[in-house]
Structure 1
Amino acid sequence: MTALTDSTALSSGPARTDRAPTPRTAAAPSAATRTLRYALHTTRMTMGNVMFMVFTIALPVGMYLLFSMMFGEQSEGQVRTMIMVNMAAYGGLGAAVTAGTQIQADQRNGFLRQLIVAGLSPRSFLTGSVMAASAVIIPALIAVGLVGLATGVELAPARFLATIGVLWLGLLPTILIGIVLGTVLKGGASMAGGVITMMAMAIFGGLWMPLEAFPTWMQQLGQAMPTYWISQLGQWTTQGGELPVTGLAVIGAWTLVLGVLCALSLRRAVGLKRR
């Protein structure tokens, strides 16, 4: 009986343990992946807006051509270079502020809420917004710069690239201004606030006309604007001279304060969306 039992056990072999494989759950995307995806999505949506591209490229290019024809030959062509720098900065300013206010559209159509539910943190949202806005200001800078080179501005390639790079980096606080406006103001008010802010910063920053043409109090106010020092840094890369250290301090201070305001306003917006 024992032998029979052993024989049966041997013949039957080991017990079958075949089971259906347990499906593996896909790993959740990292914070960096979510941030990059949001930045790419926002960049595509913004640059796909025809009116945005016209407003941020065609307008500053047209203003450069107009001012260049009127004043470009003064000071042996140096004024033309100054106009190119200022209009490139103006185009980048418009793109930066307008792109930042696009956050209001994400809030209005519920996309921000979906991102929060999907796990996008306020920090990633802010980082992605800055990345997207930083990308969409590049065409405006390059377009005005290339038109300037084609119409008589003389710059070595290294100086031209340095000018574009300095303007691009200097526009960071204007991106943050757009984000603050987009999170604080509601509906169409954010876009209107962006346009008013952009025009004020262009005028007081001396992008449309020299700051010296204004009264003393406006000159003092203008020298506290980041746009004035963005222009001065652009002039420094094109003409040389001493580095405007004061400008770096002013731009840095604006960036720090606006960064804090962005974090607070986004935290508030996210808190409201989670309710």
Structure 2
Amino acid sequence: MTTFAASATPAPTSAALSPAVRTARYALHSTRMTVTNVMFMVFTIALPVGMYLLFSTMFGDEADGAARGLMMVNMAAYGGLGAAVNAGVQIQEDQRTGFLRQLIVAGLSPRSFLIGSITAASVVILPALLFVGLIGLATGVEASPTQFVTVLAVVWLGLVPTVLIGIALGMVLTGGAASAGGVVTMMAMAIFGGLWLPLEMFPSWMQDLGEALPTYWIARLGEWALLGGEFPTTGLLVIGIWSVVFAGICAVGMRYAVGLKRR
């Protein structure tokens, strides 16, 4: 009787994984770690929802109720801003614990690491946008399903540069300085970008500064998606410039971080 040796196809090792699969796995890991962080989710959801409810109760009936819709857009942008910056900053934890080094040694390229970080941070923005938006609808904001989805999509895409800002802070700053820098940056961009109070209430120099920030135009794009009117073309230019600049900073910072870890 002839005996045949059983041949088993070896399971794919990490070396056999494509760059796309490595990137997706890292993005999934980072997303899972972030959304299971209870304090992070509470901070990025409960705070903007609470602020929306407060402001809409106080001023929501102005302009025949249209003010409530603008507050919904602004607070959704604020919640997404907090999620984007703080999720990006968490890249510092991967460097501090040596997880970045393990990933690079295991074959994850710096580009895949950066793309995975951007993807994960972009995903964790969505709960903040969705919760604020749903609370807005439940409290009287008038929007068709198409308008509602468009507002969320426009704000979400507009937040890309804030994700990059958070990642850049996580690469440049170390330890507690990264978290502190993220909070300071988020607050400054929210205040000067007119997310809490209309820019018209500030001095002219603050208005000029605010109109140079992506957060101001994120809210204006959301306002356009909700109420219509003239499309804020300048906003796309401002958001695009911030995205390109901080994408470059992240790319350089990634090379620097990997260089340090390989020494």
Structure 2 residue identity aligned to 1:121: S
2:117, 2:9 → 1: CA distance? 36
Structure 1 residue identity aligned to 2:110: P
Structure 2 residue identity aligned to 1:247: G
2:258, 2:97 → 1: CA distance? 14
Name which of 168, 174, 198 aligns with 1:186.
Answer: 174
1:21, 1:86 → 2: CA distance? 61
Please state whether the residue corresponding to 1:137 is helix, strand or coil.
helix
1:36, 1:43 → 2: CA distance? 10
The C-alpha deviation readout for 1:55-75, integer Å capped at 9, x for no partner, is 000000000000001100000
User: Is the alpha carbon distance of 1:152 and 1:186 closer, same or farther for their aligned partners in structure 2, counting shifts above 3 Å?
Assistant: same
1:24, 1:152 → 2: CA distance? 58
Structure 2 residue identity aligned to 1:176: L
User: Is the alpha carbon distance of 1:23 and 1:246 closer, same or farther for their aligned partners in structure 2, counting shifts above 3 Å?
Assistant: closer
CA displacement at 1:25 relative to structure 2: 7.7
User: Is the alpha carbon distance of 1:20 and 1:150 closer, same or farther for their aligned partners in structure 2, counting shifts above 3 Å?
Assistant: closer
1:3 maps to none
The answer to whether structure 1 residue 95 and structure 2 residue 83 are counterparts is yes
CA RMSD of aligned residues (A): 1.6
Name which of 51, 58, 61 aligns with 2:39.
Answer: 51
Name which of 232, 235, 240 aligns with 2:228.
Answer: 240
User: Is the alpha carbon distance of 1:20 and 1:240 closer, same or farther for their aligned partners in structure 2, counting shifts above 3 Å?
Assistant: closer
1:231 maps to 219
CA displacement at 1:26 relative to structure 2: 3.7
1:92, 1:69 → 2: CA distance? 22
Structure 2 residue identity aligned to 1:262: C
Please state whether the residue corresponding to 2:197 is helix, strand or coil.
coil
1:162, 1:222 → 2: CA distance? 24
Please state whether the residue corresponding to 1:241 is helix, strand or coil.
coil
User: Is the alpha carbon distance of 1:116 and 1:77 closer, same or farther for their aligned partners in structure 2, counting shifts above 3 Å?
Assistant: same
CA displacement at 1:242 relative to structure 2: 1.2
1:125, 1:224 → 2: CA distance? 30
The C-alpha deviation readout for 1:21-65, integer Å capped at 9, x for no partner, is 798584610100000000000000000000000100000000000
Aligned positions of 1:1-275 closer than 5 A:
26=12, 28-275=16-263
1:30, 1:113 → 2: CA distance? 19
CA displacement at 1:20 relative to structure 2: 9.3
1:20, 1:42 → 2: CA distance? 39
User: Is the alpha carbon distance of 1:132 and 1:25 closer, same or farther for their aligned partners in structure 2, counting shifts above 3 Å?
Assistant: closer
1:145, 1:19 → 2: CA distance? 61
The C-alpha deviation readout for 1:98-146, integer Å capped at 9, x for no partner, is 0000101111111111000011111101100010001000000000000
The C-alpha deviation readout for 1:184-240, integer Å capped at 9, x for no partner, is 100010000000000000001000000000000000000000000000000000110
Stretches of 4+ aligned residues off by more than 2 angstroms: 18-27
The C-alpha deviation readout for 1:218-268, integer Å capped at 9, x for no partner, is 000000000000000000001101110000000000000000000000110
Please state whether the residue corresponding to 1:80 is helix, strand or coil.
helix
1:102, 1:37 → 2: CA distance? 17
Greater Cα offset, 188-197 or 18-27 = 18-27
2:67, 2:6 → 1: CA distance? 76
1:158, 1:262 → 2: CA distance? 35
| TM-score (norm: length of structure 1) | 0.91
Identity, % of aligned positions: 68
Structure 1 segments unaligned to the other structure (5+ residues): 1-15
